[in-house]
Chains A and B, each alone.
Chain A
Amino acid sequence: MNYAISIVLATAILFVPSITAEHARQDAWLSLPLAGAFGALVTYIAVRLALRFPGETVVQYTPRVLGPVIGKLVGFIYVYYYLFVAYFVQREFSELMNAAYLERTPMIVIIIVLTALAVYLLYQGLEVLCRVNTVVLWSMIGAIFLIVMFGIKEVRLEEFLPVLDNGPGPVILGAVAPGSWFGETTVILMLMPFILATDQPRMVKFNLLAVLILFLVLQMIVVAAVGQFGAEQAATKLFPTLALARHVDIPELPIFSRQDAVFMVFWVAGMLFKLTTFFYAGTLALAQWLNLKDYRPLILPLAVVITALSFHAWIDIAELKSFSGEVFPFAISFVQFFLTGLILAVAVFRGIRPQPGKGGGT
């Protein structure tokens, strides 16, 4: 559960509030429940599918479900999807670091440091990843909570009026981006075989709970951002959560002012886990797609590849941001929702069951 929350949270908190506010304006807080519901649906489908083949990953069973050729093709889409999210994360991360903290440090250095950590974590394996994650996740939520609490006095409720000024359309549009972020819980398709067999039946509950917590945290941020900056300002911020952190000021306790670098610290940790998770899923998926026994030999080459891709995929931060608002949600929603649903539907329709001897977890 921890897992799902942290991977989505790390990047979602970065752009989502402003993307949502851009469409829905003061109704951004209404977009999130919609997005959460969509996320819950996607999560439910993904977990159902994963539970149908508890001992295998999506790349392993798609060829059986959809036939060898299409299955391999779809499998590759998943491989690419995971790696794509990974290098998206890399770029997003380094853009913020470059913009806010390390203006002159070459972006490549920032990316390499983070990627090196991810590679190290990957060599240690999934178990260690989960352990580190547990240690850091709650401190991250704690940090966000503090940032929001520090600014709660500044939240002006009238910023949320009028409700539904421009009708429900923008609200739905605003829900698309966060909805796709919620859907990132579909990474469970790659992780299910490694979850204890005794825990597997509870995964539906766990993942939905994760979506709920995620929803609450995001809602908190959106409310704080719109309430403090006003909808118009929130929409134009490149990094609204960072802006929130920069906004903390308690005149009585000046020591708490300008402490946004501390926020950066937690956020680096969050980004690392997200990157590592998708990188892991991508590497493992590719290894399985190529029928390799061990994914480890792929780590370093793939690290180089995604680092290069993260550089060349987008020209600048403006493109990155419009991409994450207009293209990214639809592209990943396609994989998360449509493809996953399709596989599940076909599997149910054709009555395909896991291969004997492969059931159960490790």
Chain B
Amino acid sequence: MIVAPVLRLCGITKRFGSLVANDAISLSLNRGEVVALLGENGAGKTTLMNILFGHYVADAGTVEVMGQPLPPGHPRAALAAGVGMVHQHFTLADNLTVLDNILLGTRPLWRPGLRKAVARARVQALSQDFGLSVHPDARVGTLSVGERQRVEILKALYRDARILILDEPTAVLTPQETEALFRTLRLAVGRGLSIIFISHKLHEVMGVADRAVVLRHGRVVGEVATADTDRHALAALMVGEEVVPPKVAPPTPGPVLLRLDDVTTAQAGTATGLRRVTLDLRAGTITGLAGVSGNGQAALSDLVSGVIRPQAGRLHIAGAPVTHWTPREAVGAGIARIPEDRHSTGTIADFTLTENAILEGYRSRFAKGGWMNWRAARAFAEGIIRTYDVRCPGPDTRIRLLSGGNMQKLILGRVLEPGPRIILANQPVRGLDIGAITYVHSRLLQARDAGAAVLLISEDLDEIMALSDSIHVISEGRLSPGFARGTMTQQQLGLWMAGHGFADAA
């Protein structure tokens, strides 16, 4: 039996200036099917989905939903045809309730009476049917990231979506939340919905998708049933070459470059502070910090970055106690800081690549007597773009136009070029594709082998275990002893992450 696809994209082409973001891409989706859209950052996944959803108008090609062509450039038409999108960055109003967020935009403003009782019953029924537990009257601002995502999915379901597009839905989720999401997706497929799942986490794609379509440089380079392939083959398709896990040579530990001596930091709002943390970072080693999100990683990262100061205890750099401590002092002390949020902390979106490249060094290296040396700044940016393979139209491009991976490469170049002695890498590969991940990891290992002391903070235990010479676990602001590479299993670390084993365990 031949069933017509519910969604068919035909020869979609989209150019931005000289860049061809989508080059004659065709894709079809059948009823009850999960298709994974795979590709590195900048491969054209997001552009394609924006065209499908009417946010962009394609230069060529057609979109058909349930056999009917969609008029280009009309998101409402896509919505009406039953296409729902869950964006990577949520589009919810924090100060409204879950129910209000779902209803928002579904009815004309001037119609009196929202008939909330009916709506609430329907939302509750949907959340029951699809395993999306969330309280309809909770304020969205108080919800966790996982819950917010459920609200986004409910929003799409409430509008009778038959096709769900999820843009990197697991990038923000814990493993448990990811599992719950996959259960929901299976329920949805069971009810005849069709799903496009954008990701670059291959094990998830293998786990949840029936078929994978791989994009590279705006073209479809492969389309395979997940049953007929494996992770390695997919990864090779994505980056165009076989992915090799990093080879880690044995470390050659040197002197202690950064010491936290019995440091306690203030509790900032709901963020956990550090509680009497003692930690040594040695030259030539990578120290991994494992832990469940929100257990003091932010405080440790801010402390090493110079953003906050110890409330009690001391910081020592290369043996000397630190007295005055600000971001500028931290940079001056030779600390390379890769912040957790590259969009809002690491870069200034409307600054050019050049302006972003000198953000830390403008006073010391690119200005003399208060006058900027833009020629030197531009040359520095061009050097980073070359050396770190930042894909961009040029140093005068505003950085907001770059993909996350390329943004991260620029940050890497900015902090690594001066030859730092200490490197703080807070979630350095979150949201990046395989090619970029491999690249960032290899750069960190290179820096280690050149004698830098690296502090790697990550919520991805695999990453921590693969790279770290020594692992500490952080829980409720307390730090575990250091465990040498290979001495702990995932399960053992997991116990520490859950708070077991600490001396002052409550």
A, B bound: no
Give the interface of A toward B (CB within 8 A).
none
Give the interface of B toward A (CB within 8 A).
none
